[in-house]
């Protein structure tokens, strides 16, 4: 049975720059979405269709390459800045995971782009343009989000300027047994925020109100924004990182491009002291992107291990 569609707030991002009144309405909408669901879609985000389409099509072309070409990037080391891996393997409880992934660092672009695949020949150009646009958008979104928390639009600007961007290029091939398999196990992202572009539906989010999985509906040219663990930490739990998973289908390959944005590798994300008081004691330990990578190298997300759980302080 097809899962129920999620009610997902749709934010018209263009309104952020249409004067003070519009901006404050959008900031409020973003804040509500972050606290209710940890997830929203944005339209009118300013990234043109040719850049979105170019990034998706070069990603499809990459995964169609002969395997020896892709294997050049194969690594199980989560600390590598460019990494190809497959999880076409058995998981727990008979569930199989079915995903191929290319992950690479993307900011600063001129530092990392020479490490990216040279094939397909337009990969660097198309993905480079896309990553640059995604990063601009992520910085604007973070400003809006810190504003929505009452911390002001500049609260994290300097640290985000020095921050990391990782591009996860996910490929889910057609799966013969989609009912007993998953593309990606339930998880939340370690990031401040993640922006995702998908070629077709397949992303589900956990509705914490009733514990059910809901399908994110497809909207033309929209992008999905996930609140990540580090934003939950910053906000002292006012905003919750969204638990999500990717499901599969029998018929066609699905691609998703997840642009993961965080502070610098060793910069610790801390709870904003402005959001801590007697009624709301500090609920989280500080941590960095490197702390997450160290966690990931020792724990399997497919076994339900969760980074954010290791950060929670029991008050």
Ligand X SMILES: O=C(O)CCC(=O)C(=O)O
User: Does 184 engage in binding with ligand X (CB under 6 A)?
Assistant: yes
**Partners of 164 in beta bridges:** 262
Stretch that binds ligand X, among 49-57, 134-142, 196-204, 231-239 (CB under 6 A): 196-204
Residues 241-280 that bind Fe ion (CB under 5 A): none
Residues 264-303 that bind ligand X (CB under 6 A): none
**Alpha helical stretches, state H, the chain:** 20-36, 49-64, 67-71, 109-112, 123-148, 157-161, 229-234, 289-298, 307-311
Nearer to ligand X, 26 or 137 (CB): 137
Sheet holding 100-105, edge to edge: 10-12, 39-43, 223-227, 193-198, 254-262, 164-172, 100-105, 82-86
The pairing of beta strand 244-246 with beta strand 203-207: antiparallel
Least distance (Å) between residue 28 CB and ligand X: 27
d(CA 24, CA 148): 9
Whose structure tokens read 């397909």? 120
29 binds, among Fe ion, ligand X, none (CB under 5 to 8 A by kind): none
Least distance (Å) between residue 57 CB and ligand X: 17
* 245 within 8 A of 182, measured Cβ to Cβ: yes
Q: Which of 226, 161, 215, 156 is nearest to 190 (CA)?
A: 226
Count residues near Fe ion (CB under 5 A).
Answer: 1
214 binds, among ligand X, Fe ion, none (CB under 5 to 8 A by kind): none
Binder of ligand X out of 104, 214, 230, 244 (CB under 6 A): 244
Phi/psi at 282 (nearest 5 deg)? -60, 125
Least distance (Å) between residue 171 CB and ligand X: 9
Binder of ligand X out of 27, 164, 258, 308 (CB under 6 A): 258
* 240 sits in which H/E element: none
Going by C-beta distance under 8 Å and a sequence separation of 6 or more, which residues neighbour residue 101?
Answer: 83, 84, 85, 86, 87, 168, 169, 170, 171
User: Does 196 engage in binding with ligand X (CB under 6 A)?
Assistant: yes
Binding mask 136-175 toward ligand X (x if CB under 6 A, else -) reads --------------------------------x-x-----
Least distance (Å) between residue 95 CB and ligand X: 16
Residue nearest Fe ion, CB atom distance: 189
Residues 150-209 that bind Fe ion (CB under 5 A): 189
User: Does 256 engage in binding with ligand X (CB under 6 A)?
Assistant: yes
Least distance (Å) between residue 103 CB and ligand X: 9
Binding footprint of Fe ion on the chain (CB under 5 A): 189
Binding footprint of ligand X on the chain (CB under 6 A): 168, 170, 184, 189, 196, 198, 202-203, 244, 246, 256, 258
């Amino acid at each position: 049975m097809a899962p129920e569609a999620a009610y997902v707030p749709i934010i018209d991002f263009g309104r952020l720059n249409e004067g003070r009144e519009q901006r404050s309405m959008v900031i409020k909408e973003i804040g509500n979405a972050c606290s209710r669901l940890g997830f929203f879609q944005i339209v009118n985000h300013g990234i043109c269709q040719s850049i979105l389409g170019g990034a998706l099509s070069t990603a499809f072309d990459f995964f169609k390459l002969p395997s020896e070409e892709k294997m050049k990037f194969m690594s199980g080391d989560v600390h590598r800045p460019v990494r190809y891996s497959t999880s076409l393997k058995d998981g727990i409880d008979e569930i199989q995971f079915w995903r191929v992934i290319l992950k690479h660092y993307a900011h600063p672009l001129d530092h990392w782009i020479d490490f990216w695949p040279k094939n397909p020949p337009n990969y660097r150009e198309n993905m480079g343009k896309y990553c640059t646009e995604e990063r601009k958008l992520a910085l604007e979104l973070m400003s809006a989000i810190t504003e929505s928390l009452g911390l002001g639009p500049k609260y994290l600007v300097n640290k985000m300027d020095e921050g990391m961007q990782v591009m996860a290029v996910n490929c889910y091939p057609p799966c013969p047994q989609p009912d007993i398999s998953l593309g990606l196990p339930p998880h939340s992202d370690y990031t401040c925020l993640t922006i995702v572009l998908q070629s077709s539906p397949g992303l589900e989010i956990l509705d914490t109100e009733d514990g059910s999985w809901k399908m994110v509906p497809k909207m033309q040219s929209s992008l999905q924004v996930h609140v990540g663990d580090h934003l939950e930490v910053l906000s002292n739990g006012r905003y919750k990182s969204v638990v999500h998973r990717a499901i599969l289908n029998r018929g066609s390959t699905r691609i998703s491009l997840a642009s993961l944005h965080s502070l610098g590798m060793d910069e610790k994300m801390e709870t904003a002291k402005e959001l801590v008081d007697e009624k709301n004691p500090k609920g989280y330990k500080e941590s960095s992107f490197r702390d997450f990578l160290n966690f990931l190298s020792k724990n399997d997300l497919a076994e339900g291990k969760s980074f954010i759980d290791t950060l929670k302080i029991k008050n």
